[in-house]
Structure 1
Amino acid sequence: MMNRNFNRGRKFLFFIPAAVLIAAVLGYVVMFLWNWILPEVANTGKLNYWQALGLLVLCRVLFGNFKPGGPGRGFGRRGSGMREKWHDMTGEERSRFKEEFKKRFR
């Protein structure tokens, strides 16, 4: 049990520098791509590193979320309730459901 906690703490200590490194690299990638493409295409100004990092965070807030697993990965868990309902339906209930679905979404 003690060994498992030690490994968990070790992984956490590895995660912090890895997350900082990934954020730094992504900031430079955003800055490079923005400064390479957008000033000529859309007549925008150039970004410095901190602006690019802020833009990256803003995009994460607007288009993603801060839940573990990232955006769209929770669908499997939410969809599992419907999957269970589908498996519990009889053949007649399934056919009625399909017909109702076709009527509504044609």
Structure 2
Amino acid sequence: MKQFFYKGRFIFIPLAFAACISAVSFVVMQLWNHLLPDILHVTTINFWQAMGIFILCKILFGFGGKGGPGNAPWARRRMMEKCKNMSPEEREKFRTELENRMCGWGKRPFGRRDSNFDDRFKTNTERTSPQGDTPSV
């Protein structure tokens, strides 16, 4: 049984791929033909045109990954290897340079906090008084 499935998967995978593409193309065709002629006054499309629209959209807009550069597992692994070989000083320099390039992206309230986090986001009236014991409001 296991040997049959092992040999049969080379036939099953292309058939499953074709079935998925056909099902999605049918859904695209139905949605187009039921919505867009009334909304945008366009003509109806056939199955092959719907498949072409679907493939074109996949080429233009991507294939549904997690999104964004750096989210790929191989990129994360490569970055971890680079950081592993850095000294703590180099790592902190890299982190500050990355935060500067990202326009403060890592300084959000729900992100990573460092020792100066609260002081950066307080206004002048909320900071401590010259005596240093109580904040002036």
TM-score normalised to the size of structure 1? Answer: 0.73
Matched, 1:82 2:45: no
Letter in 1 for 2:18: V
Question: What is the aligned-residue RMSD (CA, Å)?
Answer: 2.3
Match of 2:111 in 1: none
Matched, 1:94 2:91: yes
Match of 1:23 in 2: 21
Runs (4+) off by over 6 Å: none
Identical positions, percent: 34
Structure 2 unpaired stretches of 5+: 104-137
Match of 1:72 in 2: 65
Cα deviation for residue 10 of structure 1 reads 0.8
Structure 1 unpaired stretches of 5+: 65-69
- Go from structure 1 to structure 2 and tell me whether the alpha carbon gap of 1:92 and 1:57 turns closer, same or farther (over 3 Å shift): same
Structure 2 distance, partners of 1:100, 1:20, is: 47
Matched, 1:46 2:44: yes
TM-score normalised to the size of structure 2? Answer: 0.59
Match of 1:67 in 2: none
Match of 2:100 in 1: 103
For 1:45, what is the secondary structure of its paired residue?
A: coil
Structure 2 distance, partners of 1:101, 1:21, is: 45
Structure 1 distance, partners of 2:48, 2:41, is: 20
Match of 1:62 in 2: 60
Bigger helix fraction = 1
Kindly name which structure, 1 or 2, has the bigger radius of gyration based on alpha carbons: 2
Deviations 1:12-63 (A, max 9, x none): 1112322222122111101011112222222222111111011112222323
Count of residue pairs brought into register by the alignment:
98
Q: Which protein has greater RCO, CA pairs closer than 8 Å, 6+ apart?
A: 1
Structure 2 distance, partners of 1:35, 1:78, is: 42
Match of 2:34 in 1: 36
For 1:56, what is the secondary structure of its paired residue?
A: helix
Cα deviation for residue 78 of structure 1 reads 2.4
